A and B are shown apart, each in its own frame.
Chain A
Amino acid sequence: MEKVVLLLSMLSLGVSSQPITDVQRLFSIAVSRVQHLHLLAQRLISDFESSLQTEEQRQLNKIFLQDSCNSDYIISPIDKHETQRSSVLKLLSISYRLVECWEFPSRSLSGGSAPRNQISRSLTELKRGIVLLITANQDGAEFFPESSPLQLAPYGNFYQGLGADESLRRTYELLACFKKDMHKVETYLTVAKCRLSPEANCTL
């Protein structure tokens, strides 16, 4: 959190001065944060699956196949080739949208050891970092996601209308989708970072 604010101030002061280094640092911070979120999601779902019984696990698998994630409408590259073709800015924007769409629904996630709002706060910080990165890449141009306000409402309603019976399934779906989206963001950010890094081998 503090690092993002610091980086923000540094960026606002002088982006032109060594922009690559600052961007690299921003990327590194963003990647590390999303990695943390992904690991968190993995832990959540594994805890959830371990708490289920065998029969319920089979049902969940089938359920998962039939339902889809709420973030499926966001078109994102699904293989390496497409990812390589996408520009950094596109990757950043997609990441931004993914993070944003989970910013509020993540509050309903059943956190294991972490409090419920922690994920939401992390997502918010990550969103800000991505905004910074977009701003740095666009060289001052204001980024305005086109459909962000529209995206918010359906998710909120989508999960709030569920009943208690569906909670188990929904929770599982939520956790699975969250985990997948975090992995997506992590991959996109890593690819974008490596593309911008001066070193060819992209070693952290």
Chain B
Amino acid sequence: MMKTSAEVNLLLLLLVFTLHVKGMRYSPPGKPALTRCRSPEKETFTCWWESGSDGGLPTTHALFYRKENSEAVYECPDYRTAGENSCFFNKNNTSIWVSYNITVVASNALGSTFSDPVDIDVVYIVKPNHPEMVTVTVLEDKGWPFLRVSWEPPHKADTRSGWITLIYELRVKLEEENDWEMHLAGQQKMFNIFSLRSGGTYLVQVRCKPDHGFWSEWSSTSYIKVPDYIQREKPMWVLITCFCAFIFLILTWLLHMNGHSLKDFILPPVPGPKIRGFDKQLLKNGKSDEIFSSLVVSGFPPTTSPNCEDLLVEYLEVYVPEEQELMEESKDLHDICLKSEGCTSDSDSGRGSCDSHTLLMDKFREAKEEKRQRDQEKSRTGTEDQRQQKDWEEEGLTYAYEDMVSPNISSGRVKTWPSLFSPLPQYSSSRHNQKSSLEKAKKHCFSDSLFPPGSTSFSLDQGGQTTMEAIRSSNREFSLRIKQPHLLHSHTQARCQLQAHSEVNISSIGCKQALGGLRSPAPHSAEYVEVQRVNEENTVLLQPVESGHGHIDGCSQLPLGKDYSRVQGVDRYNRLLLKGEVPQEGDCLYDYQDMTGDRTENCYTSSSVPSIQKPTACIHTVIMGHDEMVLAENGYIDTLTARTLPNY
């Protein structure tokens, strides 16, 4: 080796001399430098150097090395394997845990230059190759995808025997991003990546490092696309659904809270015509002319000044059954009445009627049924009917209203205006409202036209006010008994003074119809009571209606100008006390219970009806209830609740 170097030097000197002779400037080569030495698998290694200036002359490089504890200098065994300016040490020339002293020499014709020596230990210059066979797959874990990256160590690195231990590292990033996400994988050759972006494309790279060495280069990039596993719109729909459910709940709650008022607002209760005998079809037809014509009472308003005597409405027929029956009835009813007597009612309350009202009605119904049965047992003749019927002429004004409950009870005994007196509860309960009272007063509508001519009628004026009050009871149901329609007085003055109220009109229509309906099945005649006048004692003087039909037992022999009864007064129970004055017979005293608790209405013929809307006074009423007029001993009045009271 020394010889060869000496020869080289001699040649170089000659070359330089020659060149110098020729006059050209040349210089020895510049100093080379070892750049790096690397071992890929701790079995071989390679060193690279850089050459300095060549000095204008072709230069050659040589690498010499020396092992520790040895003075022998060796030259690089392989200059080619690793490429230009490199020296490759194969396995035979590589010793581990041995220091190498390596020097590179650059030589040209003029000289040679040595580089600085470098000491290396193969153990500490290991830089493996990058991992191989990097595979990335998308797997699913309960519906959520994740990446599984797997690789193999570089094929040269002997990790199987444990000669070299490698640790791995991988990095991941989305295609459109710039930052890598590093993951240290240790010595394993597989790694899972979670929390992927739906539909994104990922780049994956892996590198490795021996436990004491340098990191390898990054492997080639692996691309992987993650499938769409999150519905983009799903969260939005979920949000919308929740919001709507919330709104729905709020609305439901609001509806629940304001249910009734809302219902009334949207669907207000439609009041139906409650007038018996009123044809609803008229309303449905929508022809206002027909409707109004049916409601209109002829002769309304009265054009003439009403006189007490003139304004008589005869609409009531007082049925006068046989005396025995009456007595029985009276007793029964009396008992019943007595029972109901205890019911208290406010003097000024419109409700007036007691709860036992219905009870009484039921009982009366039963009584009526019994009575009717009894009647049926007897031979039915017109005369009997007549006998049963009684028209009462009394000075006291009383009206017996049979409960509407039994409108159909008979063509026999009781005639009522079924539709006329619909249940009172429908009416507004405002007592002090004239209108309301008038509404109720409509019950007591007596249309003049409804009454057959010949019958006297008495009208209530505005006793009307009290009338209203009396009738005000919401529970009160009035039924008007029409004994004989044709007996009704057709007094123009006697009429059902209808309020302007539509309801009253309806009721009047009902009256009319009812009466019309009643006309046919009423073969028998009835006697009506005609209010003659009201004397200064506030007694209503009733006159019997002249009718040739009725035979009324007891007090029924009215037709000839008798004063049936006088209104004795009003007792403390607000009952109208009538006093029947019949020459033949005793006085008939009838008590008519005022269920409403108000003073019994008197029909005043005064034209002034302050409280009533219409100038005409409304006729009717009184009374109360379900009481049926029972014929007293004089047979004047046939009411259910007839009872005898001591005269005041």
Of B76-84, B160-168, B197-205, B295-303, which binds chain A?
A: B160-168
Contact B162 A191 (CB under 8 A): yes
Query: Of all chain A residues, which has the CB nearest B211?
Result: A35
Contact A194 B162 (CB under 8 A): yes
Shortest CB-to-CB span from A85 to chain B, Å, is 12
Of A3-11, A125-133, A147-155, A180-188, which binds chain B?
A: A180-188
Kindly state whether residue A75 has any CB partner on chain B within 8 Å. no
A65–B187 Cα distance when bound, in Å, is 34
Kindly state whether residue A200 has any CB partner on chain B within 8 Å. yes
A38–B98 Cα distance when bound, in Å, is 17
Question: Contacts of A192 on B, CB cut-off 8 Å?
Answer: 162
Question: Contacts of A97 on B, CB cut-off 8 Å?
Answer: none
Mostly helix, strand, loop or mixed at chain A's interface? helix
Shortest CB-to-CB span from B405 to chain A, Å, is 103
Kindly state whether residue A13 has any CB partner on chain B within 8 Å. no
Query: Of all chain A residues, which has the CB nearest B163?
Result: A80
Shortest CB-to-CB span from A48 to chain B, Å, is 16
Partner of A195, one of B68, B99, B162: B162
Kindly state whether residue B14 has any CB partner on chain A within 8 Å. no
Contact A80 B158 (CB under 8 A): yes
Contact A78 B43 (CB under 8 A): no
Contact A64 B42 (CB under 8 A): no
Kindly state whether residue A110 has any CB partner on chain B within 8 Å. no
Kindly state whether residue B144 has any CB partner on chain A within 8 Å. no
Question: Contacts of B159 on A, CB cut-off 8 Å?
Answer: 201-203
Kindly state whether residue B113 has any CB partner on chain A within 8 Å. no
With A72-B69, A183-B123 known as contacts, the answer to whether A64 contacts B99 (CB < 8 A) is: yes
Contact A201 B160 (CB under 8 A): yes
Question: Contacts of A184 on B, CB cut-off 8 Å?
Answer: 97
Question: Contacts of B137 on A, CB cut-off 8 Å?
Answer: none
Contact B101 A65 (CB under 8 A): yes
Q: Which of A38, A61, A187 has the most CB of B within 10 A?
A: A187
Shortest CB-to-CB span from B271 to chain A, Å, is 94
Shortest CB-to-CB span from A87 to chain B, Å, is 14
Shortest CB-to-CB span from A91 to chain B, Å, is 11
Question: Contacts of A72 on B, CB cut-off 8 Å?
Answer: 69
Question: Contacts of B187 on A, CB cut-off 8 Å?
Answer: 203-204
Kindly state whether residue B94 has any CB partner on chain A within 8 Å. yes
Contact A78 B160 (CB under 8 A): no
Shortest CB-to-CB span from A70 to chain B, Å, is 13
Contact A191 B161 (CB under 8 A): yes
Kindly state whether residue B96 has any CB partner on chain A within 8 Å. yes
Kindly state whether residue A165 has any CB partner on chain B within 8 Å. no
Contact B165 A79 (CB under 8 A): no
A84–B43 Cα distance when bound, in Å, is 12
Shortest CB-to-CB span from A1 to chain B, Å, is 23
For window 186-217 of chain B, which residues contact chain A by CB distance below 8 Å?
187-189, 211-212
With A180-B97, A180-B121, A203-B188 known as contacts, the answer to whether A68 contacts B68 (CB < 8 A) is: yes
With A202-B161, A203-B189 known as contacts, the answer to whether A79 contacts B99 (CB < 8 A) is: no
Shortest CB-to-CB span from B45 to chain A, Å, is 12
Contact A78 B99 (CB under 8 A): no
Partner of B99, one of A65, A84, A194: A65
A54–B188 Cα distance when bound, in Å, is 40
In the complex, per-residue mask of A75-108: 1 if CB is within 8 Å of any chain B CB, else 0: 0101111011000000000000000000000000
Contact A187 B69 (CB under 8 A): no
Kindly state whether residue B256 has any CB partner on chain A within 8 Å. no
- Known A79-B95, A183-B123; further 18 A-B contacts with Cβ < 8 A: A64-B99, A65-B68, A65-B101, A68-B69, A78-B96, A79-B94, A80-B42, A80-B96, A80-B163, A84-B161, A180-B97, A180-B121, A183-B212, A191-B161, A191-B163, A194-B162, A203-B187, A204-B165
